[in-house]
């Protein structure tokens, strides 16, 4: 039995540990592993190579993905999806593990409706916006990158008595911003999932400034598109010299944390085991309420991820 692994969409720390575990575990099971290079584009172009142990040696600590990733406009066309499926069949590949996010799973769902594609998705995105799983591969590392940056920014904010507005990633999901604000003690957090009461915040901050507060740390989720507005508000209405920092793609890079490495191992083992067990899987591995499980791809892509109300409650208690 031959299995393949590919990455699709944005990269996330933990992809390389998953790739290594895939190759080692498939060989351990006495079967043949393949690597699909360049994501969906590589699947279309037939960039499919039999994996050797040496291909994945020494990659656990590396960020990114050694097999690279991509997004593909061509994949929207039936003829290219057919070509991708035929490329898998050329290598007698029976199952595919897909490291990706919501868009990647939608692509696989579409392809599986048209062809007898046997795949298992591993939720891999720093945005943590996939329905049915409490955490995705790469999230913990991204949070630690943000935490390190915020700790350093707070140092200079307090030294120069300034306000800093820090924009973090997450697309339309405010998970990274929320957890980062809570764990860094930020005074302001603006996310897509909740209205920001600027009047209440202004009264609160001005009172604290009168009582001796000398700096402000604000976290803004990119999906709100309010980074500039918050900076102008802090400068003009709160009256504090303000700087803006957009963390950008550093949040996607870096050596995966121990948690993300272990998560990658568990996700991958369960994905491979399921592919060996089933000839029509089309599932996504999830981690929910402290336990690993499988969800139907239709359920995952057919529902919208919602931020945990408990996190929103903690956010409302920022001080």
Contacts of 314 (CB under 8 A, 6+ apart): 182
For residue 143, what is the enclosing H or E element? Answer: helix 139-160
**Cα-flanking dihedrals φ and ψ of residue 316, to 5°?**
-70, -15
List the 283-288 sheet strands across, edge first.
48-50, 32-36, 2-7, 93-100, 119-123, 283-288, 291-296
Torsion of CA 229, 235, 239, 242, to 10 degrees: 130
| β pairing state of 2-7 and 93-100 | parallel
Q: Could you tell me the end-to-end alpha-carbon distance of the chain, in angstroms, rounded to an integer?
A: 56
The answer to whether 3 touches 96, Cβ cutoff 8 Å, is yes
Going by the DSSP 8-state scheme, the letter that residue 76 receives in this structure is: G
Q: How far apart are the C-alpha atoms of 249 and 269, rounded to whole Å? A: 29
127 is catalytic: yes
Distance CA 233, CA 240 (A): 9
Strand boundaries in the chain, DSSP class E: 2-7, 32-36, 48-50, 93-100, 119-123, 163-168, 188-190, 216-221, 242-246, 283-288, 291-296
Alpha carbons 42 and 269: distance in angstroms, whole number? 24
Of the candidates 11, 109, 127, 260, the residue annotated as catalytic is 127
Alpha-carbon span 6 to 296, nearest angstrom: 19
Residues that are catalytic? 127
């Amino acid at each position: 039995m031959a299995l393949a692994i590919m990455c699709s969409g944005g990269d996330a720390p933990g992809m390389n540990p998953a790739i290594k575990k895939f190759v080692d575990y498939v060989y351990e099971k006495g079967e043949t592993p393949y690597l699909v290079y360049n994501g969906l584009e590589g699947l279309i172009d037939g960039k499919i190579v039999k994996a050797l142990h040496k291909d994945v040696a020494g990659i656990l600590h590396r960020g990114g993905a050694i097999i690279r990733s991509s997004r593909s406009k061509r994949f929207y066309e039936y003829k290219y999806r057919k070509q991708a499926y035929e490329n898998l069949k050329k290598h007698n590949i029976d199952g595919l593990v897909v490291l990706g996010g919501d868009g990647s799973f939608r692509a696989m769902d579409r392809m599986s409706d048209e062809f007898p594609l046997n795949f298992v998705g591993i939720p891999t995105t720093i945005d943590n916006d996939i329905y049915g799983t409490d955490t995705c591969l790469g999230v913990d590392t991204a949070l630690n990158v943000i935490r390190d940056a915020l700790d350093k920014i707070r140092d200079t904010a307090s030294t120069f008595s300034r306000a800093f507005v820090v924009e973090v990633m997450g697309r339309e999901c405010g998970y990274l911003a929320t957890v980062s604000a809570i764990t860094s003690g930020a005074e302001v957090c603006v996310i897509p999932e909740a209205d920001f009461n600027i009047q209440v915040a202004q009264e609160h901050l001005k009172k604290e400034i009168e009582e001796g507060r000398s700096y402000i740390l604000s976290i803004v989720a990119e999906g709100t598109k309010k980074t500039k507005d918050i900076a102008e508000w802090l400068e003009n209405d709160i009256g504090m010299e303000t700087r803006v920092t957009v963390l950008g793609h550093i949040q996607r890079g870096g050596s995966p944390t121990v948690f993300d490495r272990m998560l990658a191992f568990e996700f991958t083992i369960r994905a491979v085991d399921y592919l060996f067990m089933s000839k029509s899987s089309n599932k996504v591995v999830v981690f929910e309420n402290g336990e690993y499980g499988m969800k139907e791809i239709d359920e995952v892509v057919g529902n919208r991820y919602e931020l945990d109300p408990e996190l929103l409650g903690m956010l409302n208690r920022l001080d």
